[in-house]
Structure 1
Amino acid sequence: MATVTVPPVLTSPRDDAIHLYRAFKGLGCDTAAVINILGYRNASQRSLIQQEYRAMYSEDLNKRLVSELRGNVERAVVLWMHDPATRDATIVRKALSGDVIDLKAATEVICSRTSTQIQQFKQIYYAIFGVLLESDIEYQASGDHKKLLLAYVHTPRYEGPEVDRLMVGNDAKALFKAGEKKLGTDEKIFIKIFSERSRAHLAAVSHAYHNTTTFDMYQAIKKETSGYFEHGLLTILQCAENPGNYFAKVLHKAMKGLGTNDSTLIRVIVTRAEIDMQYIKAEYRKKYGKTLNDAVHSETSGHYRAFLLSLLGPNH
């Protein structure tokens, strides 16, 4: 469920392109005008605006936005202009090859996406950057974390709701034997089950696991694994059970304490606004007793705040 609010009476993509061009003219950029257009258009509308802008002014709208905007609002708006697969490819590439390597961000994006989404962004990754996603993972990740990511991006997974109850029971037992029951951990079993099984299957395994042992799956993963490997397994499991709850926690953590993790805030709000932000907002309110809009409002300011709030939609 998306949260982006498109006006009931919409100007044409051509008119939007003209208004954007005017916002760029003269001294300084009219950032408010840019946000009032782009923050209230869905993916297909943004794509048409880009086409019109190029046809009319013989320049790339994204490049113009980079040169006109600054700081966090620039990062958020430019990311918003991409289609979802290009966006994921851009985020992961920056996380794996930028000035600061951010394995946590790369792991979050990879392990929270469906098999289909990963196949799409893998193709774009290679087309834009001329390098295989697997090569960047191979170079930057290590140990069991690397094995998990490589298996996860390589393996096609079923995306439907049906599960095989017998297989669910066997997987729950296998994970118990590979973790809690033995001294040390058989990581290979965790990697195999978490990278090959569907979300519905993993959610059922988590339930079955809880019924056969004193721990739940989350506690078992935290007890048996650590670091980025643990983060990857927990992301896969939480997104199998309740992605809205997972992203609500990620956002809360980004805004907790002193300072705000803006790159996390931008990444999650921009990538989920047209997918499941309604659910994330509902989970956030239920979990933390305040609306996500209010939390973002208190942690951000200026045009950056206005843009993020435009993507979050009405405050409820």
Structure 2
Amino acid sequence: MSTLSLPPVPPSPREDAIQLHRAFKGFGCDTKAVIDILAHRDATQRAYIQHEYRTLYSSELLKRLSSELTGRLEDAVLLWMHDPAGRDAEVIRKKLVVDQNLEAATEVICSRTPSQLQYLRQVYYSKFGIPVEHDIEMMTSGDHKQMLLAYVSIPRYEGPEVSREIAEKDAKVLYKAGEKKFGTDEKTFIQIFSERSRPQLNATNSCYHELYGHSLKKAIKKETSGNFRYALLTIVQCAENPGKFFAKVLYKAMKGFGTDDSALIRVIVTRTEIDMQYIKAEYVKKYNKSLIDSVHSETSGNYRVFLLSLLGPNQ
């Protein structure tokens, strides 16, 4: 459920484009006006605004925003302006190739649905001229690489139906491939985690707990390590409760000294229009503090204003 707050009668995209152009003119940028418009328009409206801006002023809105804004606010607004698949493509490319932050790239890939990944692959190729599989192949290794390649390419059922019989069988197979033996049969984990739907994998998780007294998550932590472990944990946690998973990512980004602004921006911007209400609810349930209050204390200035605008009011 989205936290995006839209005006009851949104202005026309042309009017928004004109108002943005006015905000850019003169000495300095009227950043407040930019945030007031862009933080309260959905993905379709933002695409129309970019089209109208191009038509009216023969220039790209993204380029103008990049020249007018700075720092973390610039990073957040530019990411926000992309459509969801375009955003994911930008994040994965940057995290894999530029930053080599494999955990962040893994988070994005392993938390997306099969249909989201299918569209992402198309957009990635059109943006960068190479398949996402190529960059995964080049920048990752071992079981982690095999897990990501399988996860982006294998189609999975997205409906709610589950088979109890398959869930029990998979739980036993995973136990045999992991905790029961010396060493771990990683290929079995990759096969099941890349082929099963989220509800089916969640059913397997429940069966595993019934049969062996603890969750699949605990078994993964015991039997695997590194980025491969993180990929499996992301998949199983998003199968169980994506809101809880992303609440934890946000908490980690703000925990301790300093803030991982890149993670903060990535999660807030990419989840605002999907399930941010659920993430906010899970955050307060788990950490006894509202996400709004945490973000407010960890950020400042117009960057803070923009993120809080996306998050909506405290419940």
What is the aligned partner in structure 2 of residue 39 from structure 1? 39
What is the aligned partner in structure 2 of residue 305 from structure 1? 304
What is the aligned partner in structure 1 of residue 88 from structure 2? 88
User: Residues 222-245 of structure 1, C-alpha deviation per residue, up to 9 Å, x if partnerless?
Assistant: 000000000000000000000000
**Whole-angstrom CA distance in 2 between matches of 1:184 and 1:215:** 19
What is the aligned partner in structure 2 of residue 272 from structure 1? 271
Counterparts in 2 of 1:42-191, with a 5 A limit?
Answer: 42-98=42-98, 100-191=99-190
What is the aligned partner in structure 2 of residue 198 from structure 1? 197
**4+ residue runs over 2 A deviation:** none
Q: Percent identity?
A: 66
TM-fit CA distance, 1:48: 1.2
User: Residues 182-202 of structure 1, C-alpha deviation per residue, up to 9 Å, x if partnerless?
Assistant: 011000110000000000000
User: Residues 278-304 of structure 1, C-alpha deviation per residue, up to 9 Å, x if partnerless?
Assistant: 000000011111111110000000000
- Residue 47 of structure 1 aligns with an amino acid whose one-letter code is A
User: Residues 254-312 of structure 1, C-alpha deviation per residue, up to 9 Å, x if partnerless?
Assistant: 00000000000000000000000000000001111111111000000000000000100
TM-fit CA distance, 1:214: 2.8
More off after superposition, 284-293 vs 224-233: 284-293
TM-fit CA distance, 1:124: 0.6
TM-fit CA distance, 1:9: 3.2
1:295 aligns with 2:290: no
- Residue 210 of structure 2 aligns with an amino acid whose one-letter code is N
So what's the TM-score if we normalise by structure 2?
Answer: 0.99
Structure 1 unaligned regions, length at least 5: none
**Whole-angstrom CA distance in 1 between matches of 2:154 and 2:11:** 43
TM-fit CA distance, 1:215: 2.7
More off after superposition, 41-50 vs 77-86: 41-50
**Whole-angstrom CA distance in 2 between matches of 1:10 and 1:129:** 34
Residue 50 of structure 1 aligns to a residue whose secondary structure is: helix
- Residue 91 of structure 1 aligns with an amino acid whose one-letter code is V
1:215 aligns with 2:229: no
Q: How many residue pairs end up in the alignment?
A: 315
**Whole-angstrom CA distance in 2 between matches of 1:129 and 1:296:** 33
User: Residues 160-196 of structure 1, C-alpha deviation per residue, up to 9 Å, x if partnerless?
Assistant: 0001111111000000000110011000110000000
- Residue 92 of structure 2 aligns with an amino acid whose one-letter code is V
What is the aligned partner in structure 2 of residue 15 from structure 1? 15
What is the aligned partner in structure 2 of residue 2 from structure 1? 2
Structure 2 unaligned regions, length at least 5: none
So what's the TM-score if we normalise by structure 1?
Answer: 0.99
TM-fit CA distance, 1:10: 2.3
- Residue 145 of structure 2 aligns with an amino acid whose one-letter code is K
